[in-house]
Amino acid sequence: MKKVTEYICIQCPMGCPLQLTHEAKEIIEIEGYTCNRGAKYARQEFTDPRRSLSTTISIEGALWGRLPVKVTQPLPKNRVIEAAKVIHSLKVKSPVKRGQVLIKNILGDEGSDVVACRSM
Ligand code: SF4
């Protein structure tokens, strides 16, 4: 039985409403996009939704107590909380350089590292 899942494309401020028609896991049709980025976004959301993660961690010996960090590649949506818990358990000591890898492969084989967003 065919179903339609709706998304709002977040690839640019236009926010095109997308309709992805599927039968079980098979994509039948994608409509509503103005450019190909929308179709790609809907396909990604349906097959393997991912999210970026930016947050802060505790740092000792710096001017401020929190260091901004981010992941280098979007993570599977259903594992973002797991990654956030690992990141928040981390404490680092100054000095830290911008781009320094603080955790390699945060989720094992996902290929996304946690890096510092600034030097402190
Ligand atoms: S489909 Fe294209 S134009 Fe529409 S929101 Fe996505 S990126 Fe922007």
| Res. 110: pLDDT tops 80 | no
Dihedral pair phi/psi, residue 26, rounded to 5°: -90, 125
Tokens of 96: 């830290």
Q: How many domains does the chain have?
A: 2
Q: Are residues 8 and 34 in the same domain?
A: yes
Query: What are the tens digits of pLDDT across the range 89-100?
Result: 999 999 999 999
Q: How much distance in Å is there from the Cα of 7 to the middle of ligand 1?
A: 11
Do residues 83 and 101 share a domain?
yes
Residues 79 and 42 in one domain: no
Q: Concatenated DSSP letters for 56-107?
A: EEEEESSSSSEEEEEESSPEEGGGHHHHHHHHHT-EEES---TT-EEESSTT
pTM of whole model > 0.85? no
pLDDT in tens, 40-85: 999 999 999 999 999 999 999 999 999 999 999 999 999 999 999 9
Ligand 1 pocket test target in 9, 18, 43, 44 with most atoms within 8 Å of CB: 9
In CATH, what number is assigned to the domain containing residue 38? 2.20.25
Same domain, 38 and 65: no
Angle, CA 119 vertex, CA 57 and CA 65 arms, to 5°: 35
Tell me: do 84 and 37 sit in the same domain: no
- Give the separation between CA 54 and CA 115, rounded to whole angstroms: 10
Distance, CA 62 to ligand 1 centroid (Å)? Answer: 42
Residues 95 and 99: their CA atoms lie apart, in Å, by 12
Q: Are residues 38 and 62 in the same domain?
A: no
Do 97 and 67 belong to one domain? yes
Candidate of 8, 10, 11, 44 to mutate for ligand 1, largest count of ligand atoms within 8 Å of Cβ = 11
The domain of 97 spans 54-116
Nearest CA to ligand 1 atom 8: 12
Cβ-in-10-Å burial (0-12, 13-18, 19+) of 23 comes to exposed
